[in-house]
Amino acid sequence: MHASIIVCTYNRADSLAHTLACLKKQQLREDIDWEVIVVDNNSKDSTRTTVEAAISDFPQLRYEFEGKQGLSHARNHGIEIASGDVILFTDDDVCPEPDWVQVVLDSMTEHDCDACGGYIAPVWEKHPPSWLTERFYGFLAIKTDTNERQIVSKSDTPFGANMAFRRELFTRHGAFDVTRGRMGNVLASGEDGELFERILNAGGKVMYFPKARVHHRVEAFRVEKAYFRRWRFQTSRNLAISRGVPGERRIFNIPLYLIPQTLRAMWCAALGRLTAPADEAFNREIVVWHFFGTLRGLLQSR
């Protein structure tokens, strides 16, 4: 088996059906063997029947169930049962272009890389407000830069909506960290970046291929400030719980230096509302929510 495509899903049957329709249209050379694995992570909707209905005329498709809640658990389940030499990941609200898999396979062979990511175009359900500039695209798993390159910075790693790995990497470096990532309706992330960090730290070669393109649907609620605040708070809380924060002098497990840092961030955010452009003002507010999430996580794990 040359390629396994893993799609993890949770209560998004309608969106998943569109993703499967796009994957069914993949145009690969006849000598390429491939499969699509849908990992159902405790969905309560019609996810299973949606996949089973699609299997009848999509022979590469298979259904799997993962009872442990969490995106990382679901992805690791997919890795365990996948047969492909290259394992590709996309999401249940994404439509890959018809040549996506072939471009990934050819590009990884050409550049002899261990892992890669690709272009993620937004499909806006609601026109984004003026403050939602490209500086916030990472919150929405959007990646629209067009320069092919080798990834060397941990801040530049690919997003889960469009990424691929050689299978042997998971034997050498382990799978996704199950203490990170989205769990049910809890917004969190970090599991993708942490895995790429391990690969880079071990000397692995990671590439970005802009010609490997997918289209990511951005629901209307995700262009609201409330979504960004919740995402930042819950992600920072989870990171504080799983990784901790350095510092010897503490009160209730909170390093003392975080208290003045939080107050300074609040002051900068308040000042930004009066003086800064809309995107900069909201970015300063997001920094405050990062501190709030970090403090909450440290309190929970004391």
28-46 confidence digits (pLDDT tens): 999 999 999 999 999 999 9
Question: Per the structure, how many domains does the chain have?
Answer: 2
As given in the structure block, the two tokens for residue 93 are 């609200």
- DSSP label of 128: P
- Find the domain containing 275 and state its range: 224-300
C-alpha distance from residue 168 to each of 84, 86, 101, 186, 250 (Å): 10, 9, 19, 31, 42
Q: Based on the fold, state whether residues 109 and 161 are members of the same structural domain.
A: yes
pLDDT number for residue 186: 62
Q: What is the largest CA-CA distance in the chain?
A: 63
Coil, strand or helix at 216: strand
Q: Based on the fold, state whether residues 215 and 234 are members of the same structural domain.
A: no
Q: Based on the fold, state whether residues 241 and 152 are members of the same structural domain.
A: no
Q: Based on the fold, state whether residues 280 and 214 are members of the same structural domain.
A: no
Q: How many helices (H) and strands (E) does the chain have?
A: 9, 11
Q: Based on the fold, state whether residues 47 and 87 are members of the same structural domain.
A: yes
CA dist 109 and 257 (Å) reads 48
Chain-wide mean pLDDT for the chain? 94
**What pLDDT, in 10s, does the model give residues 174-213?**
999 888 767 666 666 678 989 999 999 999 999 999 999 9
The one-letter amino acid code at 204 reads G
Q: Based on the fold, state whether residues 268 and 205 are members of the same structural domain.
A: no
As given in the structure block, the two tokens for residue 2 are 């040359």
Q: Are strands 163-166 and 86-91 parallel, antiparallel or unpaired?
A: antiparallel
**Residue that terminates a domain, selected from 222, 238, 262:** 222
Can you give the pTM of this predicted structure?
0.89
Picking from 24, 213, 25, the residue whose alpha carbon sits closest to that of residue 103 is: 213
